[in-house]
């Protein structure tokens, strides 16, 4: 099936989103244990492994934001009407939810920290800084980064449509900008909130552009089983998966050595490993999404697709459940297996609570799109099928 602008609908992207949000939630669920809370635990390697191995979530979402926009807009004429509609949708369904979430999380965090009694001017200044840097709460920088990309997007679209041959150089250009900013920050700027600024993720934006423009060629790698691929593709796919796992494990081990034993290396090594880990994760998640969409049961596909469809709302909501959940640890000994189970259980529990809350808000609360982002279409519509089609039909028909 095709969208109104003639591009093929890609229901597999919802599975990509599901894998990415699972990564985000696992990182957040283990952040305290992997950071300082449980270094003395015999299960610390597990906490650190989960916390670092799943760090691909946010950069993959950033990549996907770019991919979807370029995929949908690159072949369309750029005019004032298109740009006006583009920004009006982002204002209503991204910026407003960001502002609402920032204010709500700010109030919650100040209540937890006992700061609600501070003067109004103090709160306005602190909240203003949080809104301007995406730091009103720890996870909101992702939305703030996307807002920056939305400001850049029409200019990038005009640039690469005017000179389409530049697309082949987009990824090297993105890497150059990203690493120039990293070096500038390390040796001069010293920004504490570097992760809140778009140049940090320029390689993911540019990879999104490249794969969107050349997706018809790329999907040939995705739509065929490994056994039916030419030999060189089999070797390439195996190399990507093995390289991804190897880089991820080195990334994990370097953080473990630093956190557990104080054996830190230069900060640029962590930057390099995170960049390589995340870029390879884009290809791995794409490959996994297409494979699961073809091979998994309709029920599994339907569950993952719904998580993916609600991923932005889940992203906004899950930290509040995690905050409450952490207050119930009480006296569980850190060195116990119970503590390890308690830490991990926070991930699926917060996912389910955020999923249920998002679905309920969209169903029952007027103006829900201004709170949690645009309401996702029904599974049948997202798969490109007429309303009323069953989930299994959506899975099988769209895959074909």
Co-location of 268 and 173 in the same domain: no
Cα atoms in the Cβ-side hemisphere of radius 13 Å centred on 396: 8
Counting other chains too, the contacts that 346-350 makes at CB distance below 8 Å and 24 or more residues apart are 346/29, 346/322, 347/22, 347/25, 347/26, 347/29, 347/30, 349/321, 349/325, 350/25, 350/28, 350/29, 350/318, 350/321, 350/322, 350/325
3-state secondary structure 125-165: HHHHHHHHHCCCCCCCHHHHHHHHHHHHHHHHHHHHHHCHH
Q: How many CA atoms does the CB half-sphere of 388 hold within 13 Å? A: 1
Backbone φ and ψ of 390, nearest 5° = -80, 160
Residue 78 has a pLDDT of: 80
Q: What are phi and psi of 58, to 5 degrees?
A: -65, -45
* Chunked mean pLDDT (size 10), the chain, 400 residues: 64 97 97 88 96 97 96 88 89 93 94 91 94 92 94 94 95 97 95 92 97 92 85 92 98 97 96 97 97 96 96 97 87 90 95 97 95 82 48 34
Measured CA to CA, the distance from residue 340 to residue 318 in angstroms comes to 20
12 and 103 co-located in one domain: no
- Tally of CB atoms within 10 A around 230: 10
Half-sphere exposure of 153 (CA within 13 A, CB side): 28
Whether residue 208 is found in the same domain as residue 150: yes
b/e per residue 302-341 (b: at least 16 CB within 10 A): bebbbbbbbbbbbbbbbbbbbeebbeeeeeeebeeeebbe
Does any domain span residue 109? yes
- Return the pLDDT at 81: 87
For residue 385, what pLDDT is reported? Answer: 46
Domain that holds residue 147: 55-213
Domain count, the chain: 2
Residues 142 and 190 in one domain: yes
Are both 285 and 378 inside the same structural domain? yes
End-of-domain residue from the set 180, 213, 246: 213
Rounded (10°) CA dihedral 23, 24, 29, 35: 100
**The pLDDT of residue 387:** 42
Q: Which pLDDT value is given to residue 389?
A: 41
Half-sphere exposure of 102 (CA within 13 A, CB side): 24
Is there a domain that residue 150 lies in? yes
Distance of CA 99 to the CA centre of its chain: 19
Same domain, 384 and 246: yes
**Is the domain of 199 the same as that of 348?**
no
Q: Give the pLDDT confidence score for residue 383 in this predicted structure.
A: 56
CB under 8 Å to 20, separation ≥6 — which residues?
A: 56, 57, 58, 60, 61, 64, 285, 311
Write 111-117 long-range contacts (CB < 8 A, 24+): 112/323
The C-alpha atoms of residue 324 and residue 269 are separated, in whole angstroms, by 35
Q: Which residue has the tokens 């809370």?
A: 37
Residue 77 lies in a domain: yes
277 lies in a domain? yes
Same domain? 147 vs 281: no
- Looking at residue 171, its pLDDT comes to 97
Q: Are 277 and 247 in contact (CB under 8 A)?
A: yes
Same domain? 114 vs 144: yes
Contact present, 185 and 98 (Cβ < 8 Å): no
Residues 89 and 169 placed together within one structural domain of the fold:
yes
201 and 317 co-located in one domain: no
């Amino acid at each position: 099936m095709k969208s109104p602008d003639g591009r093929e609908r890609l229901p597999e992207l919802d599975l990509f989103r599901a894998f990415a949000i699972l990564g985000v939630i696992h990182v957040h669920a283990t952040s305290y244990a992997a950071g300082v809370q449980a270094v003395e635990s015999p299960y610390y390697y597990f906490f650190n492994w989960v916390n670092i191995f799943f760090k691909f979530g946010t950069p993959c979402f950033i990549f996907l934001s770019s991919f979807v926009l370029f995929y949908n807009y690159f072949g369309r004429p750029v005019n004032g009407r298109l740009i006006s509609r583009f920004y009006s949708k982002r204002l209503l369904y991204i910026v407003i939810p960001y502002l609402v979430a920032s204010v709500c999380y700010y109030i919650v965090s100040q209540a937890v920290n006992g700061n609600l009694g501070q003067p109004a001017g103090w709160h306005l200044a602190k909240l203003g800084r949080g809104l301007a840097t995406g730091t009103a709460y720890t996870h909101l920088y992702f939305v703030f980064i996307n807002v920056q990309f939305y400001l850049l997007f029409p200019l990038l679209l005009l640039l690469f449509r005017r000179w389409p041959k530049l697309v082949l150089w987009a990824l090297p250009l993105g890497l150059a900008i990203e690493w120039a900013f990293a070096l500038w920050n390390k040796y001069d700027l010293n920004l504490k909130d570097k992760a809140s600024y778009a140049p940090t993720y320029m390689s993911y934006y540019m990879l999104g552009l490249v794969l969107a423009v050349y997706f018809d060629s790329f999907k040939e790698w995705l739509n065929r089983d490994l056994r039916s691929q030419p030999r060189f593709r089999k070797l390439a796919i195996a190399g990507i998966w093995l390289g991804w796992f190897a880089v991820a494990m080195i990334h994990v081990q370097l953080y473990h050595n630093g956190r557990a034993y104080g054996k830190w290396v230069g900060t640029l090594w962590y930057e390099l490993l995170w960049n390589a880990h995340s870029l390879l994760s884009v290809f791995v998640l794409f490959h996994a999404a297409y494979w699961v969409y073809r091979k998994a049961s309709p029920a599994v596909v339907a569950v993952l697709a719904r998580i993916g469809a609600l991923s932005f709302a889940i992203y906004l909501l899950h930290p509040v459940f995690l905050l409450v959940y952490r207050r119930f640890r009480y006296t569980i000994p850190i060195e116990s297996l119970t503590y390890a189970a308690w830490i991990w259980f926070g991930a699926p529990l917060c996912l389910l609570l955020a999923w249920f809350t998002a679905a309920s808000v969209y169903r029952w609360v007027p103006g829900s799109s201004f709170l949690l982002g645009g309401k996702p279409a029904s599974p049948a519509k997202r798969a490109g099928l007429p309303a009323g089609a069953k989930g299994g039909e959506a899975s099988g028909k769209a895959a074909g």
